[in-house]
């Protein structure tokens, strides 16, 4: 299952209407990879607030230096805080 908070992306991946668009080949490749590698492939849209952890981690990754050990530990601390806030 592929989750996205972009409804248009979900529609594009699930439909064949975008085959002639600029990203049509990428969408087709994503569909083919999903169908070839999994017994069942589904793209669903979820509200952005349900995907807060992914957005927070992506934002953190933008300011981190690759391979720096202190950042790995701060990721784990940050994940714990976000998960605890959502409960």
Residue ranges per domain, the chain? Answer: 2-45, 48-86
* Terminal C-alpha separation, the chain: 23
**Helix residue spans in 15-86 (DSSP H):** 24-37, 52-62, 69-86
* Confidence (pLDDT) at 18: 74
pLDDT of 1 reads 81
How does pLDDT run across 16-39, given as a tens digit for each residue?
777 777 888 888 888 888 889 988
Q: How much is the pLDDT for 19? A: 72
Evaluate if pTM is beyond 0.75: no
pLDDT tens-digit map of 52-86: 777 777 776 655 566 665 555 666 777 777 777 76
Average pLDDT score over residue span 40-47? 84
Residue with tokens 């992306």: 9
State the chain's maximal CA–CA distance in angstroms. Answer: 46
């Amino acid at each position: 299952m592929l989750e996205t908070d972009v409804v248009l992306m979900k529609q594009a991946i699930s439909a064949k209407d975008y085959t002639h668009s600029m990203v049509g080949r990428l969408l087709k490749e994503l569909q083919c990879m999903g169908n070839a590698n999994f017994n069942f492939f589904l793209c669903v849209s979820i509200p952005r607030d349900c995907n807060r952890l992914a957005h927070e981690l992506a934002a953190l990754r933008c300011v981190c230096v690759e391979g720096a050990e202190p950042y790995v530990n701060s990721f784990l601390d940050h994940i714990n805080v976000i998960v605890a806030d959502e409960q």
